[in-house]
Structure 1
């Protein structure tokens, strides 16, 4: 009975074919992503500027309160939510590819997608990971630096970079953060672009994403490092560079997704 059910499900939901990708695909995706950004830079800067504003507000809150030790974990943790906040860019990329109007208002079309509930399901997983990361960062700081909270950025930096406890915290914190980042990369690398593009459930999209990660692990990890470096560069000048980096990465992620899976294996998502 169980075998019959498994066979029936396999026939109804055949596995999505996954391509092998290389570093050349990453380069091509980034080039196409930047070209797409240049073609619609006015619209995309308008949308992308929302994220620097959010980052500045969050940083102001942290720097002005007792949460100074969480500033770096917050900045790093926001990248865990990147695949979700880029869903609108995936939609713009899809429309541009299909020859449809890709003005900035269509960024919000994902809210009207028949797959919106599945997109938000994956988003809730990323949000839970983000919350768990922030909790882990707080615990790591408390273990190594104690309960006392520095009163100024200078005092905080001194305590972190001039003590053995501070360096131990940096090492452990980065290793734990790396584990969270790899988990998010595996789950969302393909799943969110697929949910924007195709009529597929969240579970199947996540499974396909993990399979694509496992098949192309070295390349996908290289992609993750590339994303992290570009986000760090974009965030350095008061988060302002994210207005360019985020749209470019959103488009590039779409192009990498289209090179990773055989999209014809899945039906298109229903659209309003």
Structure 2
């Protein structure tokens, strides 16, 4: 319960400032060591998810406060896409959570890192990512993923125009009817899903462990992306399963008006850190 909102806000701002002060020498302790990629299996995925839930339970109130903005952003995007003109982009927008999810999880990765190190952890520590020596790489990779999402949206619109377009759907029900009952609708769905799969595969390959690695050590973006690709290449089945788990949980979290994402996102964000720790040494 917050008895003094102004005082509470001041305390939170102070905590955030403390979190983003100059970084200690902990960063870069293994900067010159080439990451070693190991083999992981389904047991490791279960372990990472279990640890993710433990982290979520340990800082549950703080994490919910941190992540509530993400579902609200999704609700805003859904509202923007509620008009008939943007109906063809509703699914790509909703699916886009999988592409930019790693960006939203960076702060959660940092919180898990601190808990693993036995440090006191609060929501304000999520902002500590801005003082990482690798912040440039983190920002650049975030922009790359956002550009990939934009690319997906543009391609989705192109697919619609060349199948069911160029006019916007008459209504949502008419749009759904066309998808399931017309050859053009089926073609749009098949091509659109294929395009989305390729974009999701690219996002998974370049960001599966990139953000946690950039937080864990002073490394270049090239090293982080290359290491992430090596993890996927060495564990294709396991990482494909991880991608499906992430997609499935995001879908389940989106069903109740995206409110489930308040719980799904932090668990996945924390789990990503622990998956990185299992896959990279």
Task: State the TM-score, normalizing by the size of structure 2.
Answer: 0.86
Distance in 2, matches of 1:13 and 1:53, equals: 40
CA distance 1:13–1:98, change in 2 (3 Å): closer
Which residue pairs with 2:19 in the alignment? Answer: none
Deviation of the 1:113 alpha carbon: 1.9
Provide the residue aligned with 2:234 in structure 1.
Answer: 215
Question: 2:246 maps to which residue?
Answer: 227
Once the two structures are superposed, the pairs formed by residues 216-255 of structure 1 within 5 Å of their partners are: 216-255=235-274
Change (3 A) 1:65 1:107: farther
Pairwise CA RMSD: 1.3
1:31 maps to 50
Question: After superposition, what is the alpha-carbon deviation per residue over 1:49-108, rounded to whole angstroms, capped at 9, x for unaligned?
Answer: 111100111101110352111010111123201111110000000011111121111111
Mapping of residues 146-157 of structure 1, within 5 Å: 146-157=165-176
Q: Structure 1 residues 13 and 40, CA, compared in 2 at 3 Å: closer, same or farther?
A: closer
Does 2:129 align with 1:110? yes
Partner of 1:145: 164
Paired residues, number: 251
Structure 1 residue 38, shift from structure 2 partner: 1.3
Instruction: State whether structure 2 residue 163 is matched by structure 1 residue 127.
Output: no
**Is 1:159 equivalent to 2:178 in the alignment?**
yes
Runs of 4+ with >2 A deviation? 12-15
Question: 1:193: which partner in 2?
Answer: 212
Question: What does the per-residue CA deviation read over 1:181-205, in whole Å, with 9 as the maximum and x for residues that have no partner?
Answer: 1111010011111001111110111
Report the counterpart of residue 224 of structure 2 in structure 1. 205
